[in-house]
Amino acid sequence: MIYRDFGKTGLRVSALGFGAGQIGSSDLSEQSVETLLGNILDEGINFIDTARGYGLSEHRIGKYLHNRRKSFILSTKVGYSIPGYQDWSAEIIPAGIEQALKLLQTDYIDIVFLHSCNTAILKNSGVAEALTIAKEKGKVRFIGYSGENEDLDYALSMRCFDVIQCSINIFDQKNIVYAAARARQTGLGIIAKRPLGNCPWQFTTQPYGQYAEEYWKRMKAMNLDLGTSWPSIALRFSAFHGNADTIITGSSKIEHIRQNISLLQQGPLDAHSAEKLINLFQIKQNNWNSQI
């Protein structure tokens, strides 16, 4: 496994992290989730990203990994869905953190993100200040913002966050220079979500209403057809050419995770291939915003 400095946090993070959204599904058995989470850590992945909105995810991470808490970096997201509190209020932030601490069976969380709230909320609600207070109290080691475009731009201008999380992939390159380069200059940790771009190459025709639809249209506009090389090229582009410290992928199957680890071990794309993908995006993009 490749490990990297995580901004100025002092942490060393695996180049491949685990996005724990899928393990929140009640369709997965408890035994399969327990085995998966244990195998993920055994493979050398030391970063797990979850959220309040990911179903059973926080509960299951706490249940099955609390005895290995010191061996991985844990992040979650707050700001909504706590009974008795108004979403995106200053009061819901500490309440969300307390709920997460309980579910995750830990007395601290490495990173807590504000989960894709807009600029108006960042300016006027007191949520960033509440998150900063939680950090000062030691229940949170570092604080972050997860979001895109103008909202991410404003979050960066606040200079209070330690980490950002944003979309970076072949079809979503705006953040490579728009946000990640700025974050790099100020020492923030950078997490790339959607490094595989929702795998739009799996669809032979436009997948209307699917999560991959926008990226499918961009793939066609860029006239990209990489055949069976798609997973390797897409993942390695995000990991080595996207200005991120770690990229997060999710799966309910350990064989998929192992495949991604193997792909990363191939290292960066050759300079010509990477430059071609960057140039194609710049030529074909039509005010393409990053996907939330």
Q: Is 85 considered catalytic here?
A: no
**Beta bridge partner(s), residue 17:** 248
Q: What is the rounded distance in angstroms from the CA atom of residue 49 to the CA atom of residue 133?
A: 22
Residues 6+ apart with CB under 8 A from 39: 254, 257
Helix, strand or coil, per DSSP, at residue 120: helix
Active-site residue, selected from the candidate residues 3, 54, 108, 215: 54
Residues 6+ apart with CB under 8 A from 167: 148, 175, 192, 193, 194, 290, 291, 292
Q: What is the rounded distance in angstroms from the CA atom of residue 123 to the CA atom of residue 155?
A: 9
Instruction: Using CB atoms within 10 Å of the CB of residue 3, give its burial: 0 to 12 exposed, 13 to 18 middle, 19+ buried.
Output: middle
Residues 6+ apart with CB under 8 A from 271: none
> Which residues are known to be catalytic?
54
